[in-house]
Amino acid sequence: MEQALQDKRILVLGGTSGLGKQISVQSLVAGANVTVIGRNKTRLNKAVRDLNVVSPQVTGESFDVSDQRAFKQFLNGTTKFDHIVSMLGGAMGGGFLSSSVAEIRAAIEQKFFVNLIIAQTVVPYLNEYGSLIFTGGAGGHPYDASGAIIGNQAIKTMVEGLAVEAAPKIRVNAVAPTWTPTGLWRELDQQNLKANEVGMISQIPLKRVSKPQEVASAYLFLMQNKFVTGQVINVDGGISVN
């Protein structure tokens, strides 16, 4: 599969840092043309500069992907993509009794409904035999991550449904990482970041957190293996079976 991504067009939604940026790096190394979408223009510009060091075959656009009108305007102004990756979706802590309905609803909205809108928007802009890859999550429990857990389960159900609806021309999958030290946690100070990491390590059978490169490689596998669809790959050090 070494040449499977050569000159392919890849769109990474939310790819200005962390896992999304690492997916872009690995895609560029594999010879692909990458377009990165980010809501924060400053972070987007920095990401594109960094990625240009890897390969000049990268461009960036800054807008809110959840704005379906802006997203369609962008898609109408470009050629079709071979693979589209969505990194969108937040995280939350708190159970069903300790969190407000508004907090739980917001987590589900960010994790599931935004990605459902993306799916309904982008399928016509994928080349035949291309793929659509979402991001779920592994680890956590209903009692301490209620809305996020529901969102992750909904992503799995959506992937299974879309895989049948979009077949045989388009494949649909997802990757479910566990806690990884990325830009998603940029608002935490170093002390809280370290506390989160230590807490996760205690639950992970492999006794460490993942490296962004390890998680990103799962997305590239799903792009390149043309006989995988409807699947969620857990890249979680075994936390989901612990």
Where along the chain do its domains lie?
9-234
Residue tagged 């050629």 (tokens): 79
Pairing verdict, β 81-86 and 9-13: parallel
Which pLDDT belongs to residue 193?
A: 65
Of 13-17, 49-53, 168-172, least confident by mean pLDDT is: 13-17
Between CA 21 and CA 46 the distance in angstroms is: 11
Question: What is the average per-residue pLDDT within 62-86?
Answer: 95
Which pLDDT belongs to residue 169?
A: 95
Q: Kindly report the pTM of this predicted structure.
A: 0.92
Mean pLDDT of the chain: 91
Amino acid 232 reads: V
Q: What is the CATH number that goes with domain 9-234?
A: 3.40.50.720
CB 80 within 8 A of CB 9: yes
- Among left, alpha and beta (phi > 0; psi -120 to 50; other), residue 186 is alpha
Tens digits of per-residue pLDDT, 199-214?
Answer: 778 788 888 888 899 9
What is the distance, to the nearest Å, from the Cα of residue 225 to the centroid of all Cα atoms in its chain?
A: 18
Which pLDDT belongs to residue 223?
A: 98
Residue tagged 């990605």 (tokens): 115
Between CA 83 and CA 59 the distance in angstroms is: 15
Which pLDDT belongs to residue 48?
A: 96
Residue 125 has pLDDT above 90, yes or no: yes
* Sequence-separated (6 or more) residues with CB below 8 Å from residue 91: 107, 137, 145, 148, 184
Between CA 106 and CA 219 the distance in angstroms is: 26
Of 7-11, 18-22, 193-197, 214-218, least confident by mean pLDDT is: 193-197
Residue 187: exposed, middle, or buried by beta-carbon count in 10 A (0-12, 13-18, 19+)? Answer: exposed
* Sequence-separated (6 or more) residues with CB below 8 Å from residue 129: 169, 170, 171, 226
Residue 61's DSSP bridge partners are 37
